[in-house]
């Protein structure tokens, strides 16, 4: 819009040519917003509010008469209030670069004045005090020209080859060197002690390792000896059990053979007795038959009938005797041998089961 102006965030807009309401300022000051200025009747100018710096390098004489070259940097700007902006504008608006030149001159004068009232030791050791006194001394003059100082930094202090500052540092440097040597000596001693402690620890570790290895070897040998003894005892116990089994097996076989022999002998005795009884029965039957026949021949028909009856009775008795004899023969020739064989099988099975049980027992149980 024609006649409407807006200042930058770091600028102040100055509008001259009109009346200022409620202010004694000779012109209108506008910051942070825009304003309308009637063309041809109003004049608009701008002054910077940004930070500026000024470098000072000054040869100053101390309270002791020693010349020092002091360098400093001043950071300053135009104040934000209307009075400061008006004062700065009236002095620097046409050539704003003069703010740095004038600020440097003001601070050079105050720097010479303050350093003249201090000793070299105070200046070197209390730079912040020096900067504060210079700021305090120049604050009123800077305010008159509308400027404020944000910071003053003393960059360097040089005695221009005189050697005074170096001489000041010599005692402290010597003390520091002595302290450094003492610290180095203490560090060397601590390092040596640490190394010796490390060697002792390594030697103790090696000794303990050898002791543990020796104990381990002894334990291994003891375990091997114990295992060998246990194995030998187990082998002996197994041999004894094997011998006991073989002896029991031999006894069992002998008993089985004896039972079989006794059964065979019993069978033979029964057969002989059967044969004998059969022969006797036959002889008796033949004798009785002949006697009955003779009596029948003598006695006639009745006697013959009685004789026939007796013959029948004799035959019946003979048949019964033969049946009994056959039963005994069956017992002696078939049942008894079968029972003997069954008893033999039972004995052998029991012996085999006992042998299996003995061989299945673990060596620890056998040794126990």
Q: What is the pLDDT of residues 194-249, one digit of tens each?
A: 999 999 999 999 999 999 999 999 999 999 999 898 888 888 888 888 888 788 87
The candidate with the shortest Cα–Cα distance to 325, out of 268, 278, 265, is 278
Percent of the chain with pLDDT over 70: 93
Q: Are 364 and 233 in contact (CB under 8 A)?
A: no
For residue 48, the SS3 value is strand
> H helices within the chain, ranges in order?
82-92, 98-116, 120-125, 127-144, 164-330, 336-360, 363-367
Task: Please report the pLDDT score of residue 307 as a whole number.
Answer: 65
Burial letters for 255-283: b for 16+ Cβ neighbours within 10 Å, e otherwise? ebeebeeebeebbeebeeebeeebeebee
Task: Please report the pLDDT score of residue 367 as a whole number.
Answer: 45
Residue numbers in the chain where pLDDT is lower than 70: 1, 20-23, 256, 292, 296-304, 307, 362-368
Strands 11-16 and 4-5: unpaired
The candidate with the shortest Cα–Cα distance to 54, out of 118, 97, 3, is 97
Task: Please report the pLDDT score of residue 281 as a whole number.
Answer: 76
Phi/psi for 27 (5° steps) reads -150, 170
Task: Please report the pLDDT score of residue 298 as a whole number.
Answer: 67
Predicted confidence (pLDDT) per residue in 321-340, tens digit:
888 877 877 777 778 777 77
Task: Please report the pLDDT score of residue 368 as a whole number.
Answer: 42
Q: Extract the tokens encoding 349.
A: 């099975």
Fold for the domain defined by 51-162: Tetrahydropterin Synthase; Chain A (3.30.479)
Q: Are 88 and 146 in contact (CB under 8 A)?
A: yes
């Amino acid at each position: 819009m024609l006649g409407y102006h807006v200042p930058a965030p770091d600028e102040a807009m100055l509008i001259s040519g009109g009346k200022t309401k409620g202010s004694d300022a000779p012109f209108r000051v506008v910051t942070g917003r825009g304003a309308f200025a009637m063309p041809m009747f109003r004049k608009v100018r701008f002054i910077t509010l940004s930070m500026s710096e000024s470098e000072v390098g000054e040869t100053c004489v101390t309270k002791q008469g020693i010349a020092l070259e002091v360098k400093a940097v001043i950071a300053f700007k135009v104040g934000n209030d209307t009075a400061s902006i008006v004062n700065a504008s009236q002095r620097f608006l046409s050539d704003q670069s003069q703010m740095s030149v004038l600020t440097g001159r003001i601070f050079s004068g105050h720097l010479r004045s303050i350093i003249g009232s201090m000793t070299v030791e105070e200046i070197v050791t209390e730079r912040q005090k020096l900067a504060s006194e210079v700021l305090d001394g120049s604050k009123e003059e800077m305010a008159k020209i509308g400027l404020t100082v944000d910071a003053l930094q003393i960059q360097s202090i040089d005695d221009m080859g005189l050697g005074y500052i170096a001489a000041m540092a010599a005692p402290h440097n010597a003390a520091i060197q002595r302290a450094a040597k003492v610290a180095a000596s203490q560090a060397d001693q601590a390092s040596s002690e640490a190394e010796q402690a490390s060697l002792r620890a390594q030697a103790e570790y090696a000794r303990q390792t050898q002791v543990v290895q020796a104990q381990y070897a002894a334990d291994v040998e003891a375990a091997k000896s114990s295992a060998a003894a246990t194995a030998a005892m187990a082998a002996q116990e197994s041999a004894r059990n094997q011998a006991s089994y073989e002896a029991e097996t031999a006894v069992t076989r002998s008993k089985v053979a004896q039972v079989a022999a006794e059964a065979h002998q019993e069978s033979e005795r029964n057969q002989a007795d059967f044969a004998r009884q059969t022969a006797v029965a036959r002889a008796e039957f033949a004798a009785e038959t002949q006697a009955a026949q003779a009596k029948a021949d003598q006695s006639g028909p009745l006697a013959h009938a009685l004789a026939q009856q007796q013959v029948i009775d004799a035959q019946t008795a003979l048949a019964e005797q033969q049946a009994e004899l056959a039963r005994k023969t069956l017992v002696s020739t078939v049942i008894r041998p079968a029972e003997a064989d069954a008893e033999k099988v039972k004995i052998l099975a029991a012996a085999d089961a006992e042998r299996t049980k003995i061989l299945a027992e673990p060596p620890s149980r056998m040794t126990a």
